[in-house]
Amino acid sequence: MSATLVDLEETPDTQAAPVRAPRRRLSRKTALLLSAGAIWLAGYFLLRGTGTLTLPTAELTDLHRSLNHFNAWVASNRADNPVFLYVFSPLRSAVDAVANVFTTTFAASPTGLRLPEIGWLGTVGLLSWIAFAVGNARVAVLTAAVFVFFGLQGLFVEAAYTFSLVVTAVLLSLLVGLPLGVLAGISARIEKIITPVLDFMQILPTFVYLAPLALVFLIGPASAVIATVIYAAPPIIRLTAHGIRGIPENTREASDSLGTTGLQRLFTLQIPMAKRTIVMGINQGTMAALSMVTIAALIAAPGLGQVVVRALQSLDVGTAVNAGLSIVLMAIMLDRVTTAASERAKPATQRRRSKVSRRLRVIVLGATFVLVLVLVQLSRTVLWAAQFPTDLNFGPAITSGVASASDWMQTHLFLLTETFREAVTVAFLNPFQSLATETPFFIIFAVLALAAYAFGGWKLTALVLGCLTAIVYLGLWGDAMVTLASTLVATVIVMVLGVLFGVAMGRSSRLDKLLRPVLDAGQTLPAFVYLVPFLGLFGATRFTAIIAGVIYAAPAAIKIMADGISGVSPTVVEAAVSSGSTPWQVITKVQLPMARKSLGLAANQGLIYVLAMVVVGALVGAGGLGYDVVAGFVQSSLFGKGMAAGLTIVFLGILLDRITQAAAFARPSKSTHKAQPVPNNSVPNTKEA
């Protein structure tokens, strides 16, 4: 090497000397992903339509028939089998008894005029007082206004049923979640054991819980509550454990130095200091419970969900919007009350309150409680206070008005909505669905295995191949590919929105303050609600489900991207600006690359949200696995196929979640370089080179 430099120095014309500069080569990860794409396209064009494993709608596999036989066996042996006699039936009876306490108190009793134990006036007063006790006066007024509005909509009883099931599910979730969360917070071993279980529970779309629970516990409120507990407990467990683990180490050491035992430290230090985080977990669990209770209408859970399901099945947009509005208002009310309780639990908030203000609050609570007792007694003795007056019901006016508006839009905006729907369907959805459903299954195996190996190595590849093999065995490969195509198309749209709005919010604090409350409100709404407005615009099609999935998943992706962009070091951004970079260069060369993990996490969460919504979209004609699940609820002859579809959704969700998680947290690839000659005029000075 030194001889070469000497030769260069002795060259009279240094500008003519050949030198070498590095040429960037593709990383192994990029090469594998490009190879996967090439294999997919080649397999599609060369072997299109072969090996697609398509199963016609009316046909069943041997596995599906076996599941049908198992369903029949369970029905005939339920009364004699010891497992049902001594485990499942007592559990169902216990849950049913707890649910009946709340439903008979707030919704309807089983006797006489079916009036509740506490009429509408007493319910409004009692729940408003509880909201004031755990939160503040504003959320108390909001609670009263929301429940009165339920009565004005003509849906007070349905709303009371939904609220009662949510309260039952949240209480049982706390009974299970708080002890597990505390144990996970103080024991690393228990945390490692339950974390994969919680991951699994949170990956699954809500539909998946319903069929097996209906098989074991029959349809009805008990099954709905048990499904809701399974869905709502994970956030409570996670946030409780996080709060316990988040206690500073020096604080724990100071407590230990005073000679406190483990239990004393837990109850006098860790739980009190983690109270705000625990209440945040209750907030998340409550919102999950409301979402699940509404969807559990498919297994005969009473309440607003049943109204929405019947309206969607009959394409009655007016009734669906009226009931959907009630669900939205209940979600907002529950979110605001639990959020206010979380704020009240802050140590800083408690310190700011003086003794006088605390004493005054106690006096006000006592005086208003006396008023609540009067209202409760009045609602138990006077008919107009027990049953919401029917002459104040303007629900039919809302229903007819929305129906008329929907008809007007479908008539006058038909050209616009139809053109938009067909453009997206023909340009994106049909080609991608064809690519997924008409490519041989073994090509899809190879493509996803290469992608898994590129992101996560052999372990992830083995997991992905296992999930794909299970999907083939379940006999619903074709429907799984239909669902996969819709999910991926919607996820791409979600990521475009996530990047555009996330970058804008991350770079502008004013825009972030403006949009974040809207996104927070969007995340509180149950999945059912998103189907309703788009049903009126686009009719019952798979496009409706995809658009609803995009709107449902976009808030999570946008917030994650906004947090990632705003988390980029301001020093790095200032250095890029001072070096002359344009805003576009700062975004594409600095902020997005440094927010790569947030980008991957946004894709992961967006994809899981979209999958859940696309499956629910079977109620408005989305087809695929969601249709199989719903058909399994309706027809006993298709029960086995519905169960297999639920399991297929599980494996598809695990597969997509693990690949996107690996992509989000993978280390950046290091490209290799190869020395190449460069033009002579690119080196002004040989020694500098």
Residue 582: count other Cβ atoms within 10 Å of its Cβ.
Answer: 11
Instruction: Give the tens place of pLDDT for each residue, 179-208.
Output: 999 898 888 888 888 888 887 777 777 777
Residues in the chain where the model's pLDDT stays below 70: 1-26, 112, 253, 255-256, 258-259, 262, 345-356, 666-689
* Spatial separation of the C-alpha atoms in residues 84 and 77, rounded to whole Å: 9
Cβ(564)–Cβ(508) below 8 Å:
no
The reported pLDDT for the residue numbered 501 is 92
* Spatial separation of the C-alpha atoms in residues 217 and 209, rounded to whole Å: 12
Closest by CA position to 272, among listed 350, 336, 327: 350
* Spatial separation of the C-alpha atoms in residues 170 and 161, rounded to whole Å: 14
Q: Exposed/middle/buried for 447, CB within 10 Å: 0-12, 13-18, 19+?
A: buried
User: What DSSP designation does 24 have?
Assistant: E
* Spatial separation of the C-alpha atoms in residues 530 and 544, rounded to whole Å: 10
Between vectors from CA 683 to CA 681 and to CA 684, what angle results, nearest 5°?
Answer: 90
What residues have CB less than 8 Å from 496, skipping those under 6 apart? none
* Spatial separation of the C-alpha atoms in residues 121 and 115, rounded to whole Å: 12
Cβ(473)–Cβ(52) below 8 Å:
no
Residue 152: count other Cβ atoms within 10 Å of its Cβ.
Answer: 15
- For residue 641, what are its two tokens? 């196929």
The reported pLDDT for the residue numbered 509 is 85
* Spatial separation of the C-alpha atoms in residues 679 and 523, rounded to whole Å: 57
Buried b or exposed e, range 269-300, using 16+ CB within 10 angstroms: bbbebbbbbbbbbbbbbbbbbbbbbbbbbbbe
* Spatial separation of the C-alpha atoms in residues 502 and 557, rounded to whole Å: 8
Cβ(182)–Cβ(628) below 8 Å:
no
Count of helix runs (H) and strand runs (E) in the chain: 34, 2
The reported pLDDT for the residue numbered 351 is 57
Cβ(525)–Cβ(587) below 8 Å:
no
Cβ(313)–Cβ(346) below 8 Å:
no
User: What DSSP designation does 50 have?
Assistant: S
Between vectors from CA 562 to CA 557 and to CA 567, what angle results, nearest 5°?
Answer: 130
Instruction: Give the tens place of pLDDT for each residue, 367-403.
Output: 999 999 999 999 988 888 888 988 888 888 988 988 8
Residue at token pair 């007819």: 400
What residues have CB less than 8 Å from 189, skipping those under 6 apart? none
DSSP secondary structure of 455-481 = HHHHHHHHHHHHHHHHHHHTT-HHHHH
Cβ(555)–Cβ(628) below 8 Å:
no
The reported pLDDT for the residue numbered 440 is 93
DSSP secondary structure of 486-530 = HHHHHHHHHHHHHHHHHHHHHH-HHHHHHHHHHHHHHHHS-HHHH
Within 83-174, strands assigned E span none
Residue 257: count other Cβ atoms within 10 Å of its Cβ.
Answer: 8
The alpha carbons of the chain give a radius of gyration, in whole angstroms, of 29
How many C-alpha atoms does 255 have within 13 Å on its Cβ side? 18
